[in-house]
Copies of this chain bind each other. A is one copy, B any other.
C-alpha cells in the first residue's frame, strides 16, 4: 500500500464513499501502518488517492474526529490521536507516581516561582486574609517528554517560608514540603472545569489555543487537617483523562 497509489472504492455497493474512506483509514491505524501522533496525508493527497473530491475526504475525517480517532488542526494537518494519559486522582495524588503507573516516564520542572499577595480565589480556600503572602510554584509536567500539565501551586508563606529554596534543592514538591516540616498532605477536594487556554499556557503545553484545557483546582491538607496547598492545573484535554475512583 502506497500513499501515491490509487485505492479504488466501490461506487455501487450501497456504502457511501466517505464511509469507505473512513473505514480504510481506521484500518490503517488499527493495523499500525499509522501510529499514534502520525500525520495523515493532506486532504488533497487523500482525495487524489481515493479518486474523490476533497469534500468527501473531509466528511470521512470529520467522522473519524467525532469518534476521537484523529485530530484535525487547521493549517497543520490531520493526526492520529494519541492515547490519553489516564491521570488517577486519589486521596494521595503525586504527579510522578501517577504517570509511572501508566508506564510512562514522568518529568517535572519549575517554570516560575514567586511570593505574592493572595488573591481572594486563593486566600479563601487556604484560610488566609486577602493580601497575606502566598508562595507560588508553577510547574510543567511531562509524560514521555510530552507536556501534560501546567500547575500553579499556592502555599501559605507563613507555614513554609523557605519553600522556594527547598524546591530548588529537592526538585519535588513533596520532598520540598517535607524539608519544610510538612510530612504529608492529602486531597480534600477537586473542582474540575474546562476552558480555552491562555496564550502562555497554550505555548507551554505545545497546543493550539483553539483546543480546550481541563482545569483542576485541588485543595490539599496537611496531616493536621489544615489547608497547606491549593493547586490549579491546566491540562491539554486531548492528552489527559482524569480518573476518579471513590
Instruction: Tell me, in angstroms, the Cα distance from A128 to B66 when the chains sit together.
Output: 24
Within 8 Å of chain B (Cβ to Cβ): is A242?
A: yes
A246, chain B: closest CB distance, angstroms: 5
Is B241 in contact with A244, judged by CB distance below 8 angstroms?
no
Instruction: Tell me, in angstroms, the Cα distance from A110 to B210 when the chains sit together.
Output: 32
Is B91 in contact with A191, judged by CB distance below 8 angstroms?
no
Most chain B beta-carbon neighbours within 10 Å: one of A68, A188, A195, A240: A195
B residues less than 8 Å from A241 (CB atoms): 191-193
Chain A contributes a number of interface residues (CB within 8 A of B) equal to: 32
Instruction: Tell me, in angstroms, the Cα distance from A84 to B198 when the chains sit together.
Output: 20
- Residue pairs across A and B with Cβ atoms less than 8 A apart, 27 shown, are A66-B198, A86-B191, A89-B244, A90-B246, A91-B246, A187-B246, A188-B245, A189-B244, A189-B246, A190-B243, A190-B244, A192-B214, A192-B244, A193-B237, A193-B240, A193-B241, A194-B212, A194-B213, A194-B214, A195-B211, A195-B212, A195-B237, A195-B238, A196-B211, A212-B212, A214-B214, A246-B246
